[in-house]
């Protein structure tokens, strides 16, 4: 119930505007987000890489309403990639991109615009030895996003994508994506989805295991994006059963969530990548984190009252 309400709020422009006006970034920034600027993303990336972690930096923002805004987001990624290269971090730090932030949902030629911006970002990433993973948003965008990823992979074969285990379709998508050279980030899924398209409750975890089995048996690079201790253990078990080299797959977690577990896995020799958001448009991202764990709401509200 709380989860559903929060996820509805994530899409509500009036609540978003009010929250952004009040500005509660302080408490929020400390826990889940690097900060508002690219220099913050660089600073936190440097610390994480120093701890043996890899990073995927996300420029916060989604559901872009104008072509100019989409271009600004693309330029922000290009700037970030050149700064990562200058800082000597590009090999350990990739970027994550939401297609809706670079124009996908604009009427008319939105998908084409998103493809062009994403291609430019992929080319810039490749030029500095970094990489790109395309995030997955709500189910109405899944077909479009996977089609754009397929197009990107023709020129930039290492471009990664995200599969959400809560969708009924995902095991079949994993079968299609498990081939040589692919990079698939498997997560449970963070949006409010109807029962007509998505598993609910424990069925999401069961689907996660089925999807993971397909990816581990395949020839691509599974990116196991979860904080769930049971799924973390199952991933290690499936990797062993499939005789996978330790560097042929990786764990991924969100910045600020189970950091001690991130370090424990690194110490045990597993590659671990941290998803690190930065920017001012933190509202949708933060509300999804609260929906996953409503006790995070307290942190958010403390940020409000301490202003
Ligand atoms: P689950 O929600 O069951 O949590 C397991 C445990 O992890 C909890 O018991 C708690 O201890 C801890 N935990 C989880 N979330 C927490 C939170 N917010 N605060 C504090 N503790 C928390 N989704 C999507 O739809 N599209 C995408 O592109 C991505 N991308 C993405 C990248 C990466 C690297 C990760 C790790 C996750 C995503 N997600 C995502 C989000 C994902 O779908 C999912 O919502 C969260 O990872 C939470 O699910 P868990 O698998 O951790 O399980």
Q: What is the CATH number of the domain that holds 246?
A: 3.20.20.220
Residue-level pLDDT at 168 = 98
Residue-level pLDDT at 286 = 85
pLDDT tens for 219-278 read 999 999 999 999 999 999 999 999 999 999 999 999 999 999 999 999 999 999 999 999
Q: Looking at the structure, do residues 144 and 132 belong to the same domain, yes or no?
A: yes
Q: Looking at the structure, do residues 155 and 267 belong to the same domain, yes or no?
A: yes
Would you call 201 exposed, middle or buried from its count of C-beta atoms within 10 A (0-12, 13-18, 19+)?
exposed
For ligand 1, whether the C-beta of 116 sits within 6 Å is no
Domain range for residue 20?
Answer: 1-33+290-307
pTM value > 0.90? yes
Among 58, 131, 135, 281, the one annotated catalytic: 135
Q: Looking at the structure, do residues 69 and 90 belong to the same domain, yes or no?
A: yes
Q: Looking at the structure, do residues 63 and 211 belong to the same domain, yes or no?
A: yes
What is the total count of domains within the chain? 2
For ligand 1, whether the C-beta of 253 sits within 6 Å is yes
Q: H helices within the chain, ranges in order?
A: 2-10, 13-22, 25-32, 38-50, 67-86, 110-127, 142-155, 170-177, 202-217, 229-241, 259-267, 283-292, 296-305
Q: Looking at the structure, do residues 155 and 106 belong to the same domain, yes or no?
A: yes
Testing ligand 1's pocket by substitution, the residue of 190, 205, 260, 261 carrying the most ligand atoms inside 8 A of its CB is 190
Among 131, 173, 183, 185, the one annotated catalytic: 185
Q: Looking at the structure, do residues 21 and 82 belong to the same domain, yes or no?
A: no
Q: Looking at the structure, do residues 18 and 46 belong to the same domain, yes or no?
A: no
**14 — pLDDT class (breaks 50, 70, 90):** low
Q: Looking at the structure, do residues 297 and 260 belong to the same domain, yes or no?
A: no
Residue 293 assigned ligand-binding role: no
Would you call 189 exposed, middle or buried from its count of C-beta atoms within 10 A (0-12, 13-18, 19+)?
buried
pLDDT tens for 31-77 read 899 998 999 999 999 999 999 999 999 999 999 999 999 999 999 99
Q: Looking at the structure, do residues 19 and 58 belong to the same domain, yes or no?
A: no
3-state secondary structure of 102: helix
Average pLDDT over residues 112-140: 98
Q: Looking at the structure, do residues 231 and 200 belong to the same domain, yes or no?
A: yes
Residue-level pLDDT at 119 = 98
Q: Looking at the structure, do residues 46 and 19 belong to the same domain, yes or no?
A: no
Q: Which residue matches tokens 């941290």?
A: 274
Q: Looking at the structure, do residues 268 and 297 belong to the same domain, yes or no?
A: no
């Amino acid at each position: 119930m709380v989860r559903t309400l929060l996820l509805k709020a994530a899409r509500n422009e009036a609540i978003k505007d009010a929250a952004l006006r009040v500005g509660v970034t302080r408490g929020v920034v400390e826990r889940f987000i690097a900060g508002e600027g690219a220099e913050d993303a660089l600073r936190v990336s440097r610390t994480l890489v120093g701890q043996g972690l890899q990073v995927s930096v996300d420029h916060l923002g989604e559901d872009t309403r104008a072509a100019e805004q989409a271009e600004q987001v693309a330029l922000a990624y290009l700037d970030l990639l050149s700064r990562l290269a200058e800082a000597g971090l590009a090999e350990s730090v990739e970027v994550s991109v939401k297609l809706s932030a670079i124009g996908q949902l604009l009427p008319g030629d939105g998908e084409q615009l998103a493809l062009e911006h994403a291609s430019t970002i992929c080319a810039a990433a490749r030029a500095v030895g970094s990489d790109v993973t395309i995030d997955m948003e709500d189910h109405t965008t899944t077909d479009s996003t996977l089609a754009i990823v397929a197009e990107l992979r023709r020129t930039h074969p290492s471009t990664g994508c995200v599969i959400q285990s809560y969708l009924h379709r995902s095991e079949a998508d994993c079968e299609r994506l498990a081939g040589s050279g692919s990079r698939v980030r498997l997560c449970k899924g963070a949006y409010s989805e109807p029962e007509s398209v998505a598993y609910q409750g424990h069925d999401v975890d069961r689907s996660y295991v089925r999807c993971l089995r397909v990816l581990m048996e395949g020839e691509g690079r599974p990116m196991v994006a979860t904080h769930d201790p049971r799924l973390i253990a199952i991933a290690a078990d499936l990797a062993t059963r499939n005789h996978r080299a330790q560097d042929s797959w990786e764990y991924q977690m969100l910045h600020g969530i189970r950091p001690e577990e991130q370090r424990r896995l690194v110490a045990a020799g597993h590659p671990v990548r941290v998803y690190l958001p930065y920017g001012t448009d933190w509202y949708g991202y933060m509300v999804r984190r609260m929906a996953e764990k409503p006790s995070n709401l307290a942190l958010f509200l403390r940020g409000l009252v301490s202003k």
